[in-house]
Amino acid sequence: MKKIILLAALTALSACSQKTEEKADAVPAETAAPAPAAAAAPAAASTTAPGTYDVKMADGTMATTVINADGTYVDTDPKGKQVKGRYATHDGKDCFDPEGDEMGMCWAVGKPGADGSFTATADDGTVVTVTPKKG
């Protein structure tokens, strides 16, 4: 259950980092203002884009996370079990707070690759690979 929550957080962080990079690429280099020396890393102001993401666990198990525009999420494990809850950003990490008694988790998201996939690392050290679903 915690792994699914972690995957959702990683997916959210990746989407945020990817959007930031796309916006930066849209500005021609000669017109872009230099970044201040003390600028925060993109993850510090992370906001995850709504969407559907495939999450791959270290053991190869796959899950799905859906981030909704209203700040909610739904994780679905390989057996079809769903966990729903709220998504928010705290201290530059994507955090998932499931409904019920389960404890939430926060994830630090890595820089996305050319295909938009990224790794996410939970506070407990769990690492997952998150890929935006196309279509």
The residues, any chain, with a CB within 8 Å of residue 11's CB and separated by 6 or more, are 48, 51, 53, 55, 65, 67, 94, 120, 130, 132
pLDDT tens across 43-56, in order? 344 556 789 999 99
2-24+41-132 fold: Lipocalin (2.40.128)
Work out the percent of the chain whose per-residue pLDDT is above 90: 44
- Asked if pLDDT for residue 133 goes beyond 50, the answer is yes
Q: What is d(CA 74, CA 132) in angstroms, rounded to the nearest whole number?
A: 15
In this prediction, residue 34 has a pLDDT band, given cuts at 50, 70 and 90, of very low
Domain residue spans in the chain?
2-24+41-132
Q: What is d(CA 111, CA 83) in angstroms, rounded to the nearest whole number?
A: 26
Look at residue 43 in the predicted model and tell me its pLDDT: 38
